[in-house]
């Protein structure tokens, strides 16, 4: 889909002001391509530079993170927090620790987060952050010292009514604990609501760990239901083997699907008997080893393919749950050729624009991440509610809320796509519905 000529100057300005930030350009273009029909119906959205403002972060923070490794050597990393849009509420979005983290990556994630958070219907704005620190191979002491140093600067910019970070790639409950401890130490305040993804014993929410993977699977189940179908009996491949992938697999299995492949950055595991999820959890959550260990420990028909492409494995449903742009045009052709009927994004923007177009042209149901993986941030918002009321909900209560929220997001995207003459186009539905909610709030608050 091409950008409407009225929006071309907006895109050109984004590229001029943010040179070299290709992921941010990609995310912005993908949203703007959907908005021509909105401006045709509501030309007032072009007033007061609303589109230009929505593409410009409210605040971009970059800082040095010095820390001392186990050998006594000083290491320097770079920290980021992009507070993208607070029209709907405090900035909300994860922290990512990975060598690939840069300002452009964080801006793309913050931009996506703004619309994703809007789709939940909850009062949260969009933000994202992280560092180019690589936790892989580091000791627990090194990770703690790094987290403490990061928070020594970050604490100035966050708060339960300002900006509420959470975890992302490389940041789990352990890292959140170290950062929360340092925040408490510096401020002398026990503000449970300043970070989400906490441990259950100190303010965390049940289902938070499972929420992104569960939510993505709920969304795919809702898409299939529109065609009178379900996950029951379907062959599913899930890229990744981290938090999102593990709990996507868990919910797929609960729905009666059969997961036949998963992966990590080194290679893929294919198990025609069905992935042994308990073994994957043991490898990734306890041993903290590579997925190649699965083949060594699994009795049966499992194979490991180093540097393999998971999308060549025949399946009915594909769930990209690792990282951005992991599924390209060639992968999409392979999936379509093998009879794939639905794709659900568990990661943020894991499918390239070419692949998305191929899926849509072939009639493959496609769930964009800003809608389908919103379960994580929705449950973070539920954690904020519990912290504010000094309450703790049961697993069943929280999962029921998550299921309701994901059904509402699916219906909101589907109905919006129908309303704008693009039935079944969840990409357009998500972009338009998220844009309208954020834009209406921005207009109500004036030119700020």
| Nearest to 219, CA basis, from 406, 426, 86, 34 | 406
Per residue in 259-276, pLDDT (tens digit) is 999 999 999 999 999 999
The string of DSSP codes covering 45-105 is GGGGGHHHHHTS-SEEEEEEEEEE-TTS-EEEEEEEEEEEE-SSSSEEEEEEE-TT--HHH
Say whether 380 counts as a known binding-site residue. yes
Domains observed in the chain: 8-54 (no CATH), 59-190 (3.40.50.10860), 211-372 (3.40.50.720)
Residue 243, annotated ligand binder? Answer: yes
Q: What percent of the chain lies above the pLDDT cut of 90?
A: 98
Question: Per residue in 38-61, pLDDT tens?
Answer: 999 999 998 889 999 999 999 999
- 39: exposed, middle or buried (Cβ count in 10 Å: 0-12, 13-18, 19+): middle
- Count Cα atoms within 13 angstroms, Cβ side, for 141: 5
Active site residue 128: yes
Q: Report the half-sphere exposure of 313 (CA within 13 A, side-chain side).
A: 26
Give the pLDDT score at 129: 98
For 396-414, the pLDDT digits (tens) are 999 999 999 999 999 999 9
The mean per-residue pLDDT over the stretch 235-257 comes to 97
Q: How far apart are CA 218 and CA 248, in angstroms?
A: 9
Q: Are 352 and 325 in contact (CB under 8 A)?
A: yes
Residue 130 marked in a binding site: no
Please write the tens of the pLDDT for every residue from 280-332: 999 998 998 999 999 999 988 899 999 999 999 999 999 999 999 999 999 99
251 is in an annotated binding site: no
CB burial of 46-79 (b: ≥16 within 10 Å; e: otherwise) equals: beeebbeebbbbbeebebebebeeeeeeebebeb
Q: Is the pLDDT of residue 94 over 80?
A: yes
**pLDDT of the residue at 300:** 84
Q: What is the DSSP string of 229-269?
A: --STT-EEEE---SHHHHHHHHHHHHTT-EEEEEEETTEEE
Q: What is the pLDDT of residues 150-181, one digit of tens each?
A: 999 999 999 999 999 999 999 999 999 999 99
Chain centroid, CA 401 distance in Å: 19
> Across the chain, what does the average pLDDT equal?
96
Report whether pLDDT(390) > 80: yes
Element at 288 (helix H, strand E) = none
Please give the average per-residue pLDDT across 345-373, as a whole number. 97
Beta bridge partners of 59: 83
Residues 192, 328: Cα–Cα separation, whole Å? 40
Global confidence as pTM = 0.95
92 is in an annotated binding site: yes
Q: What is the DSSP string of 319-361?
A: E--SSTT-B-HHHHHHHHHTT--EEE--SSS-B-HHHHHHHHH
The answer on pLDDT for 182 being more than 90 is yes
Q: Is 256 exposed, middle or buried (0-12, 13-18, 19+ CB in 10 A)?
A: exposed
Q: Cα separation of 230 and 251, whole Å?
A: 13
Q: Residue 2: its pLDDT value, please?
A: 83
What does the alpha-carbon distance between residue 194 and residue 209 come to, in Å, rounded to a whole number?
18
Tens-place pLDDT, residues 316-327: 999 999 999 999
Mean pLDDT computed over 196-212: 95
| pLDDT tens per residue across span 13-22 | 999 999 999 9
Query: Which of 128, 234, 251, 370 is an active site residue?
Result: 128
Enumerate residues 6+ apart whose C-beta is below 8 A from 5. Answer: none
Is the pLDDT at 118 greater than 80? The verdict is yes
- CB proximity list for 419: less than 8 A, separation 6 or greater: none
How far is 238 from 291, CA to CA, in rounded Å?
A: 13
Burial 425-439 (b: 16+ CB within 10 A, else e): bbbbbbbbbbbbbbb
pLDDT tier at 227, thresholds 50, 70, 90: very high
CA distance 438 to 119: 9
Q: What is the pLDDT of residue 301?
A: 85
pLDDT of residue 299: 83
- Of residues 167, 22, 12, 15, the one with CA closest to residue 104: 22
């Amino acid at each position: 889909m091409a950008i409407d000529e009225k929006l071309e100057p907006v895109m050109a300005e984004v590229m001029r002001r943010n040179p070299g930030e290709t992921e941010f350009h990609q995310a912005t273009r993908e949203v703007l391509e959907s908005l021509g029909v909105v401006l045709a119906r509501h030309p007032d959205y072009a007033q007061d530079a609303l589109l230009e403002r929505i593409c410009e972060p409210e605040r971009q923070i970059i800082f040095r993170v010095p820390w001392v490794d186990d050998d006594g050597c000083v290491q320097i990393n770079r920290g980021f927090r992009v507070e993208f849009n607070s029209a709907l509420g405090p900035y909300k979005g994860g922290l990512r620790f990975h060598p690939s983290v840069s300002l452009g990556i964080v801006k793309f994630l913050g931009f996506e987060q703004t619309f994703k958070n809007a789709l939940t219907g909850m009062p949260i704005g969009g933000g994202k952050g992280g560092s180019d620190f690589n936790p892989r191979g580091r000791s627990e002491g090194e990770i703690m010292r790094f987290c403490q140093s990061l928070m020594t600067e970050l604490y100035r910019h966050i708060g339960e009514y300002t900006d509420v970070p959470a975890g992302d790639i490389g940041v789990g409950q352990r890292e959140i604990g170290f950062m929360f401890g340092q925040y408490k130490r510096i401020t002398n305040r026990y503000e449970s609501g300043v970070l989400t993804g906490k441990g259950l014993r100190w303010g965390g929410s049940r289902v938070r760990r499972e929420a992104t993977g569960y939510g993505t699977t709920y969304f795919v189940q809702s898409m299939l239901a529109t065609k009178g179908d379900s996950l029951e009996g379907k062959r599913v491949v899930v890229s990744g083997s981290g938090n999102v992938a593990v709990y996507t697999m868990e919910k797929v299995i609960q729905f009666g699907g059969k997961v036949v492949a998963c992966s990590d950055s080194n290679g893929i595991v294919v198990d025609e008997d069905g992935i042994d999820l308990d073994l994957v959890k043991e490898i990734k959550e306890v041993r903290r080893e590579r997925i190649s260990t699965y083949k060594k420990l699994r009795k049966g028909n499992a194979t490991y393919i180093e540097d393999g492409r998971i999308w060549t494995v025949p399946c009915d449903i594909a769930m990209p749950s690792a990282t951005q742009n992991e599924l390209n045009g060639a992968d999409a052709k392979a999936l379509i050729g093998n009879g794939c009927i639905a794709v659900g994004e568990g990661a943020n923007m894991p499918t390239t624009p070419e692949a998305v177009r191929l899926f849509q042209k072939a009639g493959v149901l496609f769930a964009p991440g800003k809608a389908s993986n919103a379960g994580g941030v929705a449950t973070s918002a539920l954690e904020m509610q519990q912290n504010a009321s000094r309450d703790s909900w049961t697993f069943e209560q929280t999962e029921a809320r998550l299921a309701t929220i994901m059904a509402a997001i699916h219906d909101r995207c589907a109905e919006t796509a129908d309303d704008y003459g693009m039935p079944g186009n969840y990409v357009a539905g998500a972009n338009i519905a998220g844009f309208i909610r954020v834009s209406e709030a921005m207009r109500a608050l004036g030119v700020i």
